[in-house]
Structure 1
Amino acid sequence: MNDFKTLRYDERGGVAWITLNRPDVLHSFDTVMMHEIHRCWSDLRTNDDVNAVVLTATGDTAFCTGVDRNAAAIGDADRPRDLGQQGATPLHFDDPGDWLPPKTAGRLWKPVIAAVNGMACGGAFYLLAEADIIIAAEHATFFDPHTTYGMAAVFESMMLLQRVPLGEALRISLMGAHERMSARRAHEIGLVQEVVPSDELAEAAARVAEVIASQPARAVQATVRAIWYAQELGYRQALNVGKAVVQLGTDEKDLADGQALFASGRRIPWRAR
Structure 2
Amino acid sequence: MPPRKTIDCTTENGVAWVTLNRPDVLNAFDLDMLRELHACWRALRDDDEVRVVVLTGAGDEAFCTGLDRAAVADPEARKEFGERRGATPLHANDPVDLLPPKSGAQLWKPVIAAVNGMACGGAFYLLGEVEFIIAAEHATFFDPHTTYGMAAVFEPMLMLQRMPLGEVMRMSLMGAHERLSARRAHEIGLVQEVVPAGELREAALRAATVIASQPPLAVQATVRAIWYAQELGHRQALDVGRTLVQLGTDQESLAEGQRAFASGRRARWRLR
Same fold, judged at TM 0.5 (above): yes
What's 1:158 paired with? 157
What's 2:104 paired with? 105
d(CA) in 1 for partners of 2:194 and 2:95?
A: 28
Judge conservation of contact 2:34–2:96 (CA < 8 Å) in 1: no
What's 2:50 paired with? 50
1:267, distance to aligned residue in structure 2 (A): 1.3
Q: Give SS of 1:18's match.
A: strand
Judge conservation of contact 2:42–2:105 (CA < 8 Å) in 1: yes
**Residue type of the partner of 1:116?**
V
d(CA) in 2 for partners of 1:242 and 1:79?
A: 42
What's 1:40 paired with? 40
Judge conservation of contact 2:10–2:16 (CA < 8 Å) in 1: yes
What's 2:73 paired with? 75
What's 2:214 paired with? 215
What's 1:63 paired with? 63
> Unaligned 5+ residue runs, structure 2?
none
Q: How does 1:111-260 map to 2 (within 5 A)?
A: 111-260=110-259
**Residue type of the partner of 2:190?**
L
Judge conservation of contact 2:156–2:168 (CA < 8 Å) in 1: yes
TM-score, structure 2 as length reference: 0.96
Q: Give SS of 1:54's match.
A: strand
Judge conservation of contact 2:6–2:32 (CA < 8 Å) in 1: yes
1:78, distance to aligned residue in structure 2 (A): 4.0
Stretches of 4+ aligned residues off by more than 6 angstroms = none
Q: Deviations over 1:26-63 (max 9, x none)?
A: 00000000000100111111100100000001110000
1:80, distance to aligned residue in structure 2 (A): 6.5
d(CA) in 2 for partners of 1:107 and 1:82?
A: 23
d(CA) in 1 for partners of 2:95 and 2:139?
A: 23
Judge conservation of contact 1:83–1:93 (CA < 8 Å) in 2: no
What's 2:17 paired with? 17
Q: Give SS of 2:109's match.
A: coil
Q: Give SS of 2:174's match.
A: helix
d(CA) in 1 for partners of 2:28 and 2:213?
A: 33
> Unaligned 5+ residue runs, structure 1?
none
Q: How many residues align?
A: 271
d(CA) in 1 for partners of 2:87 and 2:215?
A: 50
TM-score, structure 1 as length reference: 0.95
Q: Deviations over 1:198-246 (max 9, x none)?
A: 0000000011111111110000000000000000000110000000001
d(CA) in 1 for partners of 2:87 and 2:25?
A: 32
1:2, distance to aligned residue in structure 2 (A): 3.8
**Residue type of the partner of 1:44?**
L
1:253, distance to aligned residue in structure 2 (A): 1.2
Judge conservation of contact 1:38–1:105 (CA < 8 Å) in 2: yes
